[in-house]
Structure 1
Amino acid sequence: MKYDGFLARVRERGEYTDQDEAAKVTAAVLEVLAHRITPGEAEDLASQLPGPLQEPLTRDGDRQAEKFGIEEFYRRVAERTGARPRTAQWDASAVLTTVADAVSGGELNQVISQLPSSYAVLFGKPDLSD
C-alpha cells in the first residue's frame, strides 16, 4: 500500500478533515505502538509500511519494549495528539485497522502476539481478544 492510500484509509476511518490530520494521528499511534513492542518487531513492521510511516516506528530503536495496558496506550496517543483518551481510542483503531490491511498476516500476528489480547480489537481482530 502506498503512503497516500494508507492516509486516505485512515482519514476515511477516522473521519478526519484532511490528510495532514490523518498523518499526525498515524504518526502518534505508530510511535506509541513502537514503545509497546520490541525494537526488532517495530523494525519488521516498519519494513512492510510506506516509507514515511517507518520513522515513527524506528526512531527510538535502542529502547526496551514497555509493558502497559490499553488504557495507557490511549492516554499516550491522546497526549501526542492533544485529544481526549476516548478520541484516542477512535484514532488508534483508525490507524491500526489500516496497518492490519497493509501488512502480511504473519507480521500482524507477530505484532499482536506481543500485546495483551485487549489490543486485538484495535487491529480489527476482535475474535483474538478475551
Structure 2
Amino acid sequence: MADEMTLRREAFLDHVKERGEYGTAEEAERAARVVLALLGAHLVGEVRARLAARLPEEFALILLNPLQSAEPLAPERFVRATAAWIEGATEQTATWDVGAVLSTAADAAGDDLLEQILFQLPAGYDLLFGRPQPI
C-alpha cells in the first residue's frame, strides 16, 4: 500500500513540477505545501474533507491542518500571502506557484467537487485553478 501512496505523491508532485516548470521536486513540494496550507484555511466542512481524500496523504494532512486565515483572501491577496511564505518569491513567481498547485488540485478534485470548492471561495479563484468559469 505504501508504494501506491508514494506513487500518488510522486505523480502529484510531477504534475506540479511540470506546470510550475520547477528545476527540482523540492521546489514543487515547497509550493504545494504553502498553497495547500493557505487553501485549507479557505475551505470548510465536507468540501475540504472531500478534496483532502483525493490528494496524496501528506498533502491531505496539510490541507486539513491549514495556516489560519482571519478572513477569506481575495485571489490577489492569496497570491501575495503565498509569496510571503515562500522564500525568495515575488508576486509573479507566486502566481505561477499557485497556478501550478491549484490546477493540479483541480484535476484531482474533478469538476463537481471543484464547483463546490469555488462556491466557498471569493470570486476570481476559478482563474487561479486554471478553470475560468463562464459569467
TM-score when scaled to structure 1? 0.87
RMSD of the alignment, in Å?
2.1
Code of the aligned partner of 1:27? R
Match of 2:84 in 1: 79
- Answer whether contact 1:39 1:58 (CA < 8 A) is retained: no
Match of 1:100 in 2: 106
Match of 1:54 in 2: 60
Check 1:51–1:7 CA distance in 2 against 1; reply closer, same or farther (3 A cut).
same
Superposed CA deviations along residues 15-44 of structure 1, whole A, max 9, x for unmatched, are 111111101100100011111222543222
- Answer whether contact 1:7 1:22 (CA < 8 A) is retained: yes
User: Percent of aligned positions with the same letter in both sequences?
Assistant: 36
- Answer whether contact 2:72 2:122 (CA < 8 A) is retained: no
Q: How does 1:1-130 map to 2 (within 5 A)?
A: 2-60=8-66, 66-82=71-87, 83-126=89-132, 128=133
Return the offset for 1:60. 4.2
In the alignment, the residues of structure 2 paired with residue 60 and residue 92 of structure 1 have an alpha-carbon distance, to the nearest angstrom, of: 16
In the alignment, the residues of structure 2 paired with residue 109 and residue 67 of structure 1 have an alpha-carbon distance, to the nearest angstrom, of: 17
- Answer whether contact 2:39 2:66 (CA < 8 A) is retained: no
In the alignment, the residues of structure 1 paired with residue 105 and residue 86 of structure 2 have an alpha-carbon distance, to the nearest angstrom, of: 19
**Unmatched segments (≥5 aa) in structure 2:** 1-6
**Unmatched segments (≥5 aa) in structure 1:** none
In the alignment, the residues of structure 1 paired with residue 42 and residue 25 of structure 2 have an alpha-carbon distance, to the nearest angstrom, of: 26
In the alignment, the residues of structure 2 paired with residue 109 and residue 45 of structure 1 have an alpha-carbon distance, to the nearest angstrom, of: 12
What stretches of structure 1 move > 4 A for 4+ residues in a row?
none
In the alignment, the residues of structure 1 paired with residue 17 and residue 134 of structure 2 have an alpha-carbon distance, to the nearest angstrom, of: 25
